């Protein structure tokens, strides 16, 4: 059916194919999101994304591709959930002196991190910055950099590891 879709671009074929994977996608989304309503919404969003992406690219292994799209979508939703912290939950538990010391330590760590980021190779620096600081998805990074999806994932993973090594090395030098 997928081949028929690619040959005549009739969305009816794509609808039939995606319908067969609904249970698989719902299971993947439930595994990550742990909420049935959110999982159902995610499946619908994955279907919409699949329709647009499959019209652009030819996918050889649809089941694997759908699984990865679903997994990445759920991980992005989970990552996005952790961005906002309601104001009510911020409680003053420490004294102003310890807050000041903690802020100074955080500022020093951030400066160290920023300097270490500059030492990464340009590809790793770009991908790490886009992913962690600008909260871009893998696909957005692929689109803006021209790197392949595998390259982006590799640059992020290696950049993160190298950044950690650089920061730890510099922290040990200052002690």
Query: Domain holding 123: CATH number?
Result: 1.10.10.10
pLDDT at 112 over 70: yes
Predicted local distance difference test score (pLDDT) of residue 7:
61
54 and 124 belong to one structural domain: no
Predicted local distance difference test score (pLDDT) of residue 111:
81
The one-character DSSP state at 130 is I
What's the CATH number where 44 sits? 1.10.1740.10
Residue 163: which pLDDT band, with cuts at 50, 70 and 90?
confident
Q: Which of 10-19, 78-87, 115-124 has the highest mean pLDDT?
A: 115-124
Q: How far is CA 5 from CA 13, 88, 118, in A?
A: 5, 51, 46
122 and 174 belong to one structural domain: yes
71 and 134 belong to one structural domain: no
How large is the average pLDDT for residues 113-125? 88
Question: What's the total number of domains in the chain?
Answer: 2
Domain endpoint, select from 81, 108, 133 = 81
Q: Of 11-20, 64-73, 127-136, 142-151, where does mean pLDDT reach its minimum?
A: 11-20
How large is the average pLDDT for residues 107-128? 86
What's the pTM value of the predicted model, to 2 decimals?
Answer: 0.44
CA distance 59 to 51: 12
Judge contact between 120 and 163, C-beta under 8 A.
yes
CB contact set of 9 (below 8 Å; sequence gap of 6+): 55
Domain that holds residue 142: 117-175
CA distance 175 to 159: 24
Q: Looking up tokens 């050889």, which residue turns up?
A: 60
107 found inside a domain: no
Greatest distance between any 2 Cα atoms in the chain:
70
122 and 74 belong to one structural domain: no
* Angle between helical axes of 149-174 and 138-145 (0-180°, round to 10): 100
CA distance 133 to 145: 16
pLDDT at 171 over 70: yes
Judge contact between 40 and 22, C-beta under 8 A.
no
Mean pLDDT of the chain: 79
11 found inside a domain: yes
């Amino acid at each position: 059916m997928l081949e028929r879709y690619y040959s005549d671009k009739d969305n009816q074929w794509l609808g039939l194919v995606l319908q067969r994977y609904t249970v698989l996608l719902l299971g993947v989304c439930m595994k990550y999101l742990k909420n049935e309503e959110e999982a159902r919404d995610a499946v619908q969003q994955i279907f919409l994304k699949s329709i647009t992406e499959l019209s652009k690219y030819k996918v050889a292994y649809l089941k694997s591709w759908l699984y990865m799209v679903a997994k990445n979508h759920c991980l992005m939703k989970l990552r996005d959930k952790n961005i906002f912290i309601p104001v009510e939950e911020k409680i003053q538990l420490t004294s102003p002196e310890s807050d000041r010391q903690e802020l100074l330590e955080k500022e020093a760590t951030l400066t160290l991190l920023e300097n270490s980021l500059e030492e990464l190779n340009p590809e790793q620096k770009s991908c790490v910055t886009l992913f962690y600081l600008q909260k871009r998805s893998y696909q957005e990074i692929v689109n803006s950099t021209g790197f392949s999806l595998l390259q982006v994932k590799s640059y992020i993973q290696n950049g993160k590891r190298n950044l950690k090594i650089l920061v730890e090395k510099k922290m040990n030098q200052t002690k």
